[in-house]
A and B are shown apart, each in its own frame.
Chain A
Amino acid sequence: MRRVAIINYGLTKVDKHWKKSLRGLFGDAAKAALNNSKVTNLDALIIGNMCASDLSDQNNIGALLADYLCITPATAFRVEAACGSGAAAVLAAYTAVASGMYDVVMTGGIEKLSDGVGRDTTLSLGKAADAEYELFYGSSFVSLNALLMNHYMHIHHTPRDAFADFAVLMHKNGSKNPYAQLPFEITREMVLRSDKIADPITLYDCAPVGDGAAALILCPLEEASKYSDNYVEISGLAGATDTINVSSRSDLLSFNSTVIAADRAYKMAKITPRDVDVAEIHDTFTITGAISLEDLGFSEKGKFNKLLAEGAFEPGGIVAVNPSGGLKSRGHPVGATGAYQIVEVAMQLMGDAGKTQVPDAEIGLAQNIGGSGSSTFVTILRRSR
């Protein structure tokens, strides 16, 4: 297997891009990734997306985008793992390059949720769950996570305020991110008083869904300097699964997919959680963020709130968590989210993160979840300057 580098990237702001189509929006990210690079040819395009079939009446995204980017006859296809589609696509692209089958591969994610106006976006997103044994009973992505949050508070006696405080930190970080969908600060009271969605989850516990596209260009590490003088290595990555049905798990307060994917990725990168300087974690809901911090090894079980209050998840603490603002403030462009996270970590290591820059970040991690913990992809990057 060859070692693999990320040599360039492109992002759009997460937003409601009414004037942009699927191809137009991804085109913006792809153009940004190709600008300032010496890449003249793409061998393949591997793209993450979840909802285009439901909301934009479009399948065959690979050919659609290859055509728009004028890179036909390059190999191109979509990867789908619900909200984990973005990082799943990067994993597929990594293996394509590492294997030696392809040299220069564009990957990333695209989601156009605003095309779903007048349709059932809640149902489309809910399809990440078990259609016959969860969705059938009227559950949704929010209510399944609400079951976890209620259980967490019951078992660990964690105060409701702690979850609100996590959202407050995310918005504080995201207020400095030019790509964020909700780039403003909030207070604990705003979270507590926001509309109830599925108790105990209120509106401000939830990540906003939006349109977004992120693109990355991968090539063999040995050839990276041919294309760019600032690149990062993908030093470890793994994907893992758990039961699709939340109630089939013996421990509802841990995502085994995250535990296993993280363990494998840490081993591959030959690091421990303590070595991670900056992490983009998958906080679809504040409870998802809390469980993820624990499963990734950044906090003991049931203790995230104590560390949060001590500033452990801010620069200078144990690990700088979600300097982008995370899903909560940067936004959650579903099938593109994992690609955003990996781009954001790469930007931190390349020193390109502007006002959200964590000083001297050398090792970074991105954790992207599909469903309510049924799929997780963990990607570890290392600075290569």
Chain B
Amino acid sequence: MSVPRYWREIPGRTRLEAQKCSKCGHVIYPERLRCDKCGGVLLEPYTLPEKGKLLTFSIVRSPPSNFVKMAPFVLGIVELEDGTRITTQITDIPVNDVSIGMSLEAVFRKISEDGDSGIIQYAMKFRPAFR
């Protein structure tokens, strides 16, 4: 992955910056030109909540080549407290202990690296919430 490509997605991927429709209140993530619910064009900056529940998941055993070192790992869709859904990895838990509906919180983690000399990519994964 090129440096500009990585760098320009930092707001969305690592700061969880999204948009909120000022007409209907729908949260738009990742960002779009208009509200994907009502078509509204007045969108305000909005930061996603960092807590949510696991909607669905998969234990990935045969991933793309730059993730082979981490397999098996858990890919999931997290439903955040405001209803927004995000696809990411579930971490800090044995893969067989993951279950649908579990409470999760965002945590800054290494995602992958581009060989020996490429950039190391970071973003948010989700881990079991401490309550």
Tell me the A residues contacting B by CB distance below 8 Å: 120, 122-123, 126, 130, 132-140, 142-144, 146-148, 150-151, 154, 195-201, 243, 245-248, 252
A residues in contact with B64, CB < 8 Å = 120, 122-123, 126, 135, 138, 140
B residues in contact with A143, CB < 8 Å = 58, 60, 63, 75
Minimum C-beta distance from A242 to chain B (A) = 10
Known pairs A123-B65, A147-B56, A196-B59; list 5 more (Cβ under 8 Å). Answer: A122-B62, A126-B64, A133-B87, A136-B111, A147-B58
**What is the interface size of chain B, counting residues whose CB is below 8 A from a CB of the partner?**
36
Most buried by A among B56, B67, B88: B56
Is B70 interfacial (CB 8 A cutoff)?
yes
B residues in contact with A148, CB < 8 Å = 56
Quick check: B56 and A132 within 8 Å, CB to CB?
no
Most buried by A among B61, B100, B112, B125: B61
Quick check: A151 and B55 within 8 Å, CB to CB?
yes
Number of A-B residue pairs with CB-CB distance less than 8 Å in the complex they form: 111
Quick check: B75 and A136 within 8 Å, CB to CB?
no
Quick check: B123 and A140 within 8 Å, CB to CB?
no
Is B76 interfacial (CB 8 A cutoff)?
yes
User: How far is B75's CA from A246's CA once the two chains are assembled, in angstroms?
Assistant: 13
Specify the chain B residue showing the minimal Cβ separation from A126.
Answer: B64
B residues in contact with A142, CB < 8 Å = 62
A residues in contact with B86, CB < 8 Å = 247
Quick check: B57 and A147 within 8 Å, CB to CB?
yes
Quick check: B56 and A154 within 8 Å, CB to CB?
yes
- List of 9 A-B pairs having minimum Cβ-Cβ separation, nearest first: A146-B58, A151-B56, A138-B67, A247-B85, A199-B59, A247-B87, A123-B64, A198-B58, A247-B77
Contact of A132 among B13, B73, B85 (CB under 8 A): B13
Quick check: B75 and A147 within 8 Å, CB to CB?
yes
Minimum C-beta distance from B56 to chain A (A) = 4
User: How far is B36's CA from A246's CA once the two chains are assembled, in angstroms?
Assistant: 14
User: How far is B67's CA from A144's CA once the two chains are assembled, in angstroms?
Assistant: 15
User: How far is B73's CA from A332's CA once the two chains are assembled, in angstroms?
Assistant: 27
Specify the chain B residue showing the minimal Cβ separation from A197.
Answer: B62
Is B114 interfacial (CB 8 A cutoff)?
no
Q: A138-B111, A138-B112 are in contact. Are A133 and B13 (CB under 8 A)?
A: yes
B residues in contact with A140, CB < 8 Å = 60, 62-64
Quick check: B89 and A137 within 8 Å, CB to CB?
yes
B residues in contact with A122, CB < 8 Å = 62-65
